[in-house]
Structure 1
Amino acid sequence: MRGYLASSIAVTCAAALAFPLALSTDAVAAPPAAESPTTDRATPDRPASDRTARARPETPSTSKTPAETAKSAKSAETAAGAAGAAAPALAPASAGSATDRSIPGSTQSLPLAPLTPPPSDRTLPPTSAPASTTQGLPRRDVRHFSLVGVVWDNPDTELQGRVQVRTRASGTAKWSVWQDVDTHNHEHAADPDTAERTSGRVRGSTAPLWVGDSDGVEVRVQAEADGRPEADGRAVAGDPLPRGLHIELIDPGVDPAAEPPPGQASGVDTPRGNVLSPEAAASSAVNADLAPLGATAIPALSQKQTEADLVATRGETAEAAGAKDKPGGSKDKPVVKDKPGTTGKTGTIGPGDAADTGADQRVKPYIGARPRIVTRRGWGADETLRERNFSYTKTVKAAFVHHTASGNNYRCAQAPSVIRSIYRYHVKSSGWRDIGYNFLIDKCGNIYEGRAGGVAKPVMGAHTLGFNTNSMGIAVLGSFGASNPPAAAVKAIAKLTAWKLGLFGANPKGKTYLKSGGGNLYRKGKNVRLNVISGHRDGFATECPGGRLYAKLGTARVTSARYQGR
């Protein structure tokens, strides 16, 4: 039987001790980027809350799995040995080697002001709107950015209106057409009354929009008209716009070192030859039983490998499983209980699984082959942005599928940049503890680790307001209200859910009950029956994940169950 890694926290601590994690001179002493004279604020490393002079306290981790709260000396020794054994996999940093801070990125936050469209501009409906219902930013030269979004002070206030931007491609005089930004984004958030939601840092925000490399921007925001005509025929403006409107311009930073495409990768993706920061070491250590510390991707396993590893991880050898088929085997020998929180190459078993998983699942588990997953290090996460602690829920009973509503104008090679931008927007601009989704999928079907804490663990996300507990969130990069999702992305949803839900004994074609944390469809405390693979709109009145992607979820459920062997 494979040995168990005792706990994620112990592994993290041991990994940090195992490495003399000195940042390079460039990372420590690099001067701040020069302030552009055309921008009011450039915030490469400053939290959004600093704009309102609020402190940024560290939010403590919420519920932990039993294995993660274990602090026995034996556990620490076991983890230290595991981390120490993995340490040689990382090449020592040379004097000129890069560190994780070589992908810094930046955020420019510009205030919006009252704006009156010129009479010749007929792209917005005429209105008698006062200044409080029409704001914007005239054409402006700015530093490089690739993603935009609008934020405001109060996260409980919705922006009822229309947000449009146009941008200028870097190094050119070419301006884009006006593009709409999805304003209904508050349902992608931490649950009410949670530490993340009540931190004092969270702000209202639109969905992010990927615009590509740009160095000029123009913005206009108009409140929704209430439908009543004025005497001159113009529409009466509706509610005022939220206070504190800013346009956020996100530069994702340079791409991490190129890695071979999934089809050309062989074996385990090797770690990059540079020094891990303490935060990066912690983020990688929680996946250390799946791939070496510092790895850019967790390798795929075959169906047979995944099943065998899960059986071994759950505390039952193949011989013991086979004995159940012999006369008197299952009667004379007590059933070996699962060990909640234990880890193996396949992943972590949540504490709720021991009671829910039957003998058949232990002998031959219903689980799909583990897919290849690009780690946070693989897509270039700056681990100093997120909160240091990880937050966990008890188990994973359901998967909510989303689209990022960030547009489809990206190449698969740009997906890491898109994810880094969304990560920065969620943390620095919106005030979240980390990126909200547990996993992300690009149009080519590549799967990426989202919120830190371990891909096989029940990490608490901020993706489906009211239903983040005991669930996971999967976001497909793009907008799928009017566009069909790529078949590769739908297949990736099926592969990912077949594996991750299988770790927790969930049937992709089945139903489950989740308790609402509060939302616009279900009151707080109500037990709601949902599909194990649901769309965001099943838990909250929203367009997400877009009608075209939502229509494919039936196919994803059937395919996922088939991958599990059901």
Structure 2
Amino acid sequence: MSKIMPMRGFLTSSIGVTCAAMLAFPLPLPTVTAVAATAETTAAGGTRSLPLVPLSQERGLGAPPGLGLYRASGERFSLLGVVWDDPGTELHGRVQVRTRSAAERTWSGWQDVETQGAGHGPDPGTAERTARRVRGATAPLWVGASDGVDVRVRAESAATARSRTAAGPRGPLPSGLRVELVDPGGDGTPPPGAPADPPRTGQDTDAQRTASAANSDLTGFGALEIPELDRQATGQELARLQGPVQGQPYIGPRPRIVTRRGWGADESLREPGFGYTRNVKAVFLHHTGSGNQYTCAQAPSVIRGIYRYHVTSMGWRDIGYNFLVDKCGTVYEGRAGGVAKAVLGAHTLGFNGDSTGIAVIGTYETTKPPGAVVTALARLTAWKLGLYGGDPSGRTYLTSGGGNLYPQGKNVRLNVISGHRDGFATECPGALLYAGLGRARSRAARYQGR
């Protein structure tokens, strides 16, 4: 059960995640390419939306019929993705892009964009899912400061479709395909000593004030970060939030968390109010699928780009994840509503209720996550689960809201710390990040004193 309401000072939570995996299909027809544009921009960033249409061949380049190519010029963006009309439709095919560096004016090589986007998002039947503006989408791809793009999308071949074991026919490419070029705002370089690089947008708005106030039970109003605590101080804080507990509570020391204000969230983008679920019984871990070509100083810019992509391009009420972790192990607040509360996310389709979602920024199918990432995941889950009495090394039951692994209403037994693929048939959070979950579970349990 979930609901949307103004911020309240009680503990509650949920999950929201975005994941995807690379596909390596042959390149048959049809192909689509961007040819026209609409734009939404502000001083703090913006989104350029380019509709995709079929082309028989690329003029002047000697490309074979069916290939499509678009070259934008003078567009400023750092993150991109492809969206389409129906969020319930999957894109069975291959999306490739190349971009031009804004600094060097040189073109990158072709890159694959992860297309397995159906496994994340609001649960079926929820108000957020049934909103008329919600769209299907690929994972976002971080490309750095760019001013030109080529994009091509091809349906999978009939032979590839027949070789799949999943039931059901494979249709053509989804309708309404668009490439989204996202400018996150800012330059990705924080000033010395600052935890993030928020663009300066003038006076606080009501949305900014309420987002900050959601964490007033943990830190001062307008804080750029929530400081870490040792285990004793965390236990004292738990008693203050929930009342006296018997004996030493099983809770890990609170990690340092960069707030939404700290990473520069434009609070005017999201829907007003906050959504909560009843409990936090489980954590789902994800990767963003956005690639690893970012510096840790750029992580706030990457998050702002993902946030804008989730809200402006995909039509969600806010960023999907409850928390994000960069490759240096820094933890960031995700969806607004309070980091200690049970905020309803949009990360694991069918299991957003009674859970929380954590996404590691990057792609970890063939790249091993740094040790700092595993440490950060262990510390964050030990603290967050401890607020709700969860054992990181245990198992629990969640009721499916509907997905491709479990039908709606099925009671499913899962690890308290699970990967996205445990609740939905996807490659997220990547093979090598998933392989490290056992280590994260055992370390989180030790942080809790178990």
What TM-score, normalized to structure 1? 0.69
Q: What is the distance in 2 between the residues matched to 1:202 and 1:273?
A: 27
Distance 1:379 1:135, change over 3 A: farther
Is 1:441 aligned with 2:374? no
For residue 173 of structure 2, what is the aligned residue in structure 1?
241
Is 1:110 aligned with 2:110? no
For residue 390 of structure 2, what is the aligned residue in structure 1?
506
Q: Is the 8 A contact 1:518 1:524 kept in 2?
A: yes
Q: Give the secondary structure class of the aligned counterpart of 1:294.
A: coil
Q: Is the 8 A contact 2:57 2:67 kept in 1?
A: no
Distance 1:274 1:120, change over 3 A: closer
The match for 2:338 among 454, 459, 464 is 454
**2:392 partner letter:** P
Q: Is the 8 A contact 1:39 1:142 kept in 2?
A: no
The match for 1:283 among 191, 211, 226 is 211
**1:534 partner letter:** S
For residue 23 of structure 2, what is the aligned residue in structure 1?
none
The match for 1:42 among 28, 31, 39 is 39
Alignment of 1:347-366 (within 5 A): 362-366=246-250
Is 1:391 aligned with 2:275? yes
Q: What is the distance in 1 between the residues matched to 2:272 and 2:375?
A: 33
Q: Is the 8 A contact 2:79 2:144 kept in 1?
A: yes
Distance 1:513 1:197, change over 3 A: same
Q: What is the distance in 2 between the residues matched to 1:431 and 1:214?
A: 24
Q: What is the distance in 2 between the residues matched to 1:539 and 1:372?
A: 29
Distance 1:175 1:508, change over 3 A: same
Is 1:523 aligned with 2:414? no
Q: What is the distance in 1 between the residues matched to 2:79 and 2:340?
A: 30
Q: Is the 8 A contact 1:8 1:285 kept in 2?
A: no
For residue 26 of structure 2, what is the aligned residue in structure 1?
none
Is 1:370 aligned with 2:254? yes
How far residue 122 of structure 1 moved from its aligned partner, in angstroms, is 11
Q: Give the secondary structure class of the aligned counterpart of 1:419.
A: helix
Q: What is the distance in 1 between the residues matched to 2:191 and 2:395?
A: 41
Unaligned runs of 5+ in 2: 11-34, 162-169
How far residue 307 of structure 1 moved from its aligned partner, in angstroms, is 1.1
Distance 1:147 1:547, change over 3 A: same
Q: Give the secondary structure class of the aligned counterpart of 1:310.
A: helix
**What do residues 309-340 of structure 1 show as CA deviations (whole Å, max 9, x unaligned)?**
21343322xxxxxxxxxxxxxxxxxxxxxxxx
Q: Is the 8 A contact 1:113 1:135 kept in 2?
A: no
Q: Is the 8 A contact 2:44 2:201 kept in 1?
A: no
Identity of aligned residues (%): 60
**What do residues 72-113 of structure 1 show as CA deviations (whole Å, max 9, x unaligned)?**
xxxxxxxxxxxxxxxxxxxxxxxxxxxxxxx62100001111
Q: What is the distance in 1 between the residues matched to 2:59 and 2:382?
A: 56
**1:42 partner letter:** A
Q: What is the distance in 2 between the residues matched to 1:551 and 1:428?
A: 33
Q: What is the distance in 1 between the residues matched to 2:333 and 2:314?
A: 20
Larger Rg: 1
Q: What is the distance in 2 between the residues matched to 1:299 and 1:379?
A: 15
Q: What is the distance in 2 between the residues matched to 1:122 and 1:466?
A: 46
Is 1:406 aligned with 2:346? no
Distance 1:242 1:539, change over 3 A: same
How far residue 258 of structure 1 moved from its aligned partner, in angstroms, is 2.9
Q: Is the 8 A contact 2:122 2:346 kept in 1?
A: yes
**1:551 partner letter:** A
How far residue 211 of structure 1 moved from its aligned partner, in angstroms, is 0.3
How far residue 552 of structure 1 moved from its aligned partner, in angstroms, is 0.1
For residue 191 of structure 2, what is the aligned residue in structure 1?
258
**What do residues 120-157 of structure 1 show as CA deviations (whole Å, max 9, x unaligned)?**
9999xx8xx9xxxx674422214110001000111111
How far residue 495 of structure 1 moved from its aligned partner, in angstroms, is 0.3
Q: What is the distance in 2 between the residues matched to 1:228 and 1:205?
A: 21
**2:191 partner letter:** A
How far residue 239 of structure 1 moved from its aligned partner, in angstroms, is 3.0
How far residue 160 of structure 1 moved from its aligned partner, in angstroms, is 0.6
**What do residues 407-427 of structure 1 show as CA deviations (whole Å, max 9, x unaligned)?**
000000000000000000000
For residue 479 of structure 1, what is the aligned residue in structure 2?
363
**What do residues 269-317 of structure 1 show as CA deviations (whole Å, max 9, x unaligned)?**
xxx996321100000001012111111000111111011221343322x
Q: Give the secondary structure class of the aligned counterpart of 2:277.
A: coil
For residue 24 of structure 2, what is the aligned residue in structure 1?
none
**2:368 partner letter:** N
For residue 232 of structure 2, what is the aligned residue in structure 1?
304
Q: Is the 8 A contact 1:190 1:468 kept in 2?
A: yes
Q: What is the distance in 2 between the residues matched to 1:551 and 1:304?
A: 32
Q: Give the secondary structure class of the aligned counterpart of 2:332.
A: strand
Q: What is the distance in 2 between the residues matched to 1:514 and 1:421?
A: 31
Q: Give the secondary structure class of the aligned counterpart of 1:149.
A: strand
The match for 1:161 among 93, 105, 111 is 93
Aligned residue pairs total: 411
Distance 1:10 1:433, change over 3 A: closer
Alignment of 1:133-144 (within 5 A): 136-144=68-76
Q: Is the 8 A contact 1:163 1:182 kept in 2?
A: yes
Q: What is the distance in 1 between the residues matched to 2:389 and 2:77?
A: 43
Higher relative contact order, structure no. (Cα contacts within 8 Å, ≥ 6 residues apart): 2
Is 1:152 aligned with 2:84? yes
Is 1:188 aligned with 2:123? no
**2:322 partner letter:** N
Unaligned runs of 5+ in 1: 1-6, 13-37, 46-102, 230-237, 266-271, 317-360
For residue 66 of structure 1, what is the aligned residue in structure 2?
none
Alignment of 1:62-101 (within 5 A): none
Q: What is the distance in 1 between the residues matched to 2:277 and 2:175?
A: 34
Q: Is the 8 A contact 1:115 1:220 kept in 2?
A: no
Distance 1:10 1:161, change over 3 A: closer
What TM-score, normalized to structure 2? 0.86
Q: Give the secondary structure class of the aligned counterpart of 1:457.
A: coil
Distance 1:315 1:176, change over 3 A: same
Distance 1:228 1:431, change over 3 A: closer
Alignment of 1:528-547 (within 5 A): 528-547=412-431
Q: Is the 8 A contact 1:147 1:211 kept in 2?
A: yes
**2:416 partner letter:** V
Alignment of 1:15-34 (within 5 A): none
Q: Is the 8 A contact 1:115 1:136 kept in 2?
A: yes
For residue 224 of structure 1, what is the aligned residue in structure 2?
156
